[in-house]
Structure 1
Amino acid sequence: MAAPRWVLGLLAVTAAAALTGCTGGGREAACDTTGGIVECTPEQRSAAPGIAGQLLTGEDYDVAGQRGQVVVVNFWGSWCAPCRAEADDLENTYQATKDSGVTFLGINVQDSRDKAIAFEEAYGVSYPSIFDPGSRLALAMDIPPNTIPATVVLDREGRIAVVIRAAVRQEGLQPIVERIAAESPASSGER
């Protein structure tokens, strides 16, 4: 039996609303969106919400202490197959860009600390990760935990420059990170 027309219409409206909700609203709507990557010009960027918490190793961490550096924030979970697939690409991009004022931060969501630590050891992840089992930081960044992996690139002013809502590969991520790192102080908003 075919579904009534009003049910199909309701499903279409619900799907459109869900897709609109995933864009992050006004900020991302004004930026260039191509293939799951949202990139904002310096004039379009907004400040990232506070990103702080306890690292998997137990120390406290606050991204505000990284002001002046480009910060690549990756949301991941040990249970996430695409997160496993991108781990080497993230680590390789980190190694290739860290000498140009770039740092990386992982945010582990919906996981146990033991599984997250085992993941980092198995994949040779050398940058720190905040342990966020309740996904508090992901939600603050408009990253629904069920849509990870996601990667956010913050410029040297702590503003959101790029949001990638898919697994990354080094050949796609590294040029983005290098472009944001190469921005002149005038174009990145520094005075």
Structure 2
Amino acid sequence: MDNTPISDALVMRATASAFDAQRGKLPVPGDPHRSPDAVAVARQISELGKLITDLGDEVLFRAADQDQAPHTPRVITSFATVVEPAGEAASALGAVAHQLAFLNQTQSLHDQPDARDAREAAVRVMEDALATADAALRDGANSLHAASATVSPPSVRLQAARSRSTTATPAPGPPPPDVTTSVASPSARIARGR
């Protein structure tokens, strides 16, 4: 296992991209191209389960490694932390699947007032669950992106590309102080020594 800061940061960024990809697959109520569909939701729950397994494997492999690098505990913590939002998103999609099944079962009763109210409530529950899944996946991706930057800061080219992006991440901090200006002149060192 390659456990250099760069390789670990790349795995973290790739996993953050997997969170973003799952977020992009979320159904959107009212959108004819992305409306909630029971099969698509079930498939996404399965994919999130695989993502959780992958996160667990990342934690396990690093925790079991007898020759851990100094940055490894931060990587383990970062992967372990995002299991929760991945699980939260899967759970929220489970609620969506439940509501879709209810809507399917009560389709023939849509003219009855009580059923109509229950069906409207199911749609609201589904919308709230989708919003929860969206927020959880966004939080997971953002957490991994931020953590990867602490393990191995992105390249200057990537930072420049992000600064030009419409969804730019915060600009990098000020450059390090110029070494030539921070070194005291010989006369200043002599004066302080007296």
Q: So what's the TM-score if we normalise by structure 2?
A: 0.23
Determine which structure has the larger strand proportion and give its number. 1
Higher relative contact order, chain-length normalized (CA < 8 Å, sep 6+): 2
Which protein has the larger Cα radius of gyration, Structure 1 or Structure 2?
2
